[in-house]
């Protein structure tokens, strides 16, 4: 009987270890990733909210508001999808945990039954007189000693089995506690889902109001967009001129300098999709390239050579890679701008309020270049990436969040 209970205890412990390692670890890993992503989306929404609040304070109702609201709604939908994923993950874990608890409980009942049988045998032979008789009936002193040792070990064995069974019972209780926590988590996620859904409906209603408001200003908006296009064209031409001069200067360098540029450019290329963000907590609110107006669909917005990364006033702007400061200039509507060369690659940082570097400075990845300014009521860094005189999509170079 002792062999049976030892085997069943071993089997129970093995199953418990399997349950703890295989299910809890994987669930925690997946949940941590989902939670990290959810926090990132919530942070993006917070940044957009601050910018919208700033616009409201200044009594501005612009196309910019509409773009921000669109991004906020898109982020809110991502957040809802994330919560849905967390709910599914938690519900799947609940079902799995239910099955695991049933298996553990079945094993525990078998262990407990085996122990009760042993306990019953011990109870039926509990009379000390019977044990004393067995000792006195011994044919020799060594035999009497062995019998006494057996009774002593048997009692210790029963005590050990009782302790191990209590441990097994505690383990089952722990798994039930985990199960109850999963149920509580699932209820909390469902409540969060309902709250986010109500917020999304409210934001979509605000978006419709903005669309109606902007639609009433169609004539004025077209004029403003044309003016903006002319200003942006002038800025883009100036940036292209600066880059062309920088490239021309680079190509006239010594053979050693060109070799160093080549090595640095190769290192820069290896970090495609892994560069740190120039604005650590910023959110891209102005995507790269050509896009139609969010309301007046027949009108194209000015081509964006880079991306707009919205943050907060005086946020730190940092170099995304090691290089050399080639230009520090002031551009109309773009405030102070810094051009950093990385071999044959260039990064351009605009709309800075203060600058912490000077022309010719060598900078390392993450070095402070300056701080973000307020430009036309916005706190948005304009960031560009160029390969020689060929513009790049910065989103393809920055690391994923």
**Band of pLDDT at residue 59, cut at 50, 70 and 90:** very low
As a whole number of angstroms, the distance between CA 348 and CA 361 comes to 15
**3-state DSSP call for residue 42?**
helix
Q: Is the pLDDT assigned to residue 318 strictly greater than 80?
A: yes
CA distances from 51 to 105, 154, 303, 375 (A): 55, 76, 22, 12
Q: Token match 């149920």: residue?
A: 183
Q: Token match 């002593």: residue?
A: 152
Q: Quote the pLDDT of residue 36.
A: 82
**Band of pLDDT at residue 394, cut at 50, 70 and 90:** very high
Rg (the chain; Cα; Å): 35
Which runs of consecutive H residues, i.e. helices, occur in 125-217? 128-136, 141-215
Q: Where are the domains of the chain?
A: 2-215, 228-396
* Assigned architecture for domain 228-396: Distorted Sandwich (2.70)
Which residues make Cβ contacts (< 8 Å) with residue 6, sequence separation at least 6? none
Strand 380-387, strand 307-310: pairing: antiparallel
As a whole number of angstroms, the distance between CA 339 and CA 56 comes to 33
Question: Which phi and psi (to 5°) does residue 323 adopt?
Answer: 180, -160
Of how many residues is the chain composed?
401
Q: Quote the pLDDT of residue 46.
A: 83
Task: List pLDDT tens digits, range 24-52.
Answer: 556 667 777 878 888 888 888 888 887 77
Task: List pLDDT tens digits, range 69-93.
Answer: 888 888 889 889 888 888 888 888 8
Average the pLDDT over 327-348 and give the result. Answer: 94
As a whole number of angstroms, the distance between CA 349 and CA 181 comes to 48
The closest alpha carbon to 158, from 187, 125, 135, belongs to: 125
Q: Quote the pLDDT of residue 253.
A: 86
As a whole number of angstroms, the distance between CA 154 and CA 149 comes to 8
Q: Is the pLDDT assigned to residue 12 strictly greater than 50?
A: yes
As a whole number of angstroms, the distance between CA 128 and CA 125 comes to 8
CB 48 within 8 A of CB 67: no
Question: Which phi and psi (to 5°) does residue 326 adopt?
Answer: -100, -30
Task: List pLDDT tens digits, range 127-177.
Answer: 444 555 554 455 566 655 565 555 555 555 555 656 666 666 666 677 777
**Burial (Cβ within 10 Å: 0-12, 13-18, ≥19) of residue 203:** middle
Q: Is the pLDDT assigned to residue 297 strictly greater than 80?
A: no
CB 308 within 8 A of CB 285: yes
**Band of pLDDT at residue 269, cut at 50, 70 and 90:** very high
CB 41 within 8 A of CB 82: yes
Q: Quote the pLDDT of residue 344.
A: 94
């Amino acid at each position: 009987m002792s062999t049976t209970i030892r085997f069943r205890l071993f089997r129970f412990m093995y199953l418990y270890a399997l349950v703890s390692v295989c299910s809890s670890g994987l669930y925690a890993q997946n949940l941590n990733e989902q939670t990290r992503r959810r926090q990132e989306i919530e942070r993006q929404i917070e940044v957009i909210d601050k910018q919208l609040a700033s616009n409201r304070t200044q009594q501005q109702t612009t196309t910019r508001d509409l773009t921000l609201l669109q991004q906020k709604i898109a982020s809110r939908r991502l957040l809802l999808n994330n919560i849905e994923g967390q709910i599914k993950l938690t519900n799947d874990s609940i079902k799995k945990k239910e099955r695991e608890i049933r298996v553990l409980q079945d094993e525990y009942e078998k262990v407990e039954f085996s122990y009760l049988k042993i306990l019953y045998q011990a109870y039926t032979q509990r009379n000390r007189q019977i044990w004393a008789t067995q000792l006195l009936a011994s044919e020799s002193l060594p035999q009497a000693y062995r019998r006494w040792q057996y009774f002593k070990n048997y009692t210790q064995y029963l005590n050990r089995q009782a302790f191990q069974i209590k441990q097994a019972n505690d383990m089952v209780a722990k798994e039930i506690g985990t199960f109850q926590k999963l149920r509580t988590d699932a209820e909390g996620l469902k409540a969060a889902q309902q709250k986010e859904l109500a917020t999304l409906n409210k934001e979509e209603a605000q978006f419709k109001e903005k669309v109606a408001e902007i639609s009433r200003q169609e004539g004025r908006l077209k004029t403003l967009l044309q003016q903006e296009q002319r200003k942006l064209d002038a800025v883009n031409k100036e940036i292209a001129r600066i880059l062309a001069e920088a490239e021309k200067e680079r190509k006239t360098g010594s053979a050693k300098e060109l070799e160093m540029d080549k090595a640095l450019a190769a290192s820069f290329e290896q970090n495609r999709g892994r560069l740190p963000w120039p604005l650590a907590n910023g959110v891209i609110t102005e995507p790269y390239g050509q896009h139609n107006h969010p309301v007046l669909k027949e009108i194209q917005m000015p081509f964006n050579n880079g991306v707009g990364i919205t943050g907060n006033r005086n946020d730190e702007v940092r170099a995304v890679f090691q290089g050399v400061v080639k230009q520090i200039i002031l551009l109309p509507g773009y405030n102070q701008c810094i051009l950093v060369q990385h071999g044959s690659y260039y990064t351009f940082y605009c709309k800075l309020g203060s600058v912490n570097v000077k022309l010719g400075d060598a900078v390392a990845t993450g070095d402070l270049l300056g701080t973000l300014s307020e430009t036309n009521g916005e706190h948005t860094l304009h960031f560009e990436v160029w390969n020689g005189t060929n513009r790049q999509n910065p989103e393809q170079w920055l690391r994923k969040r």
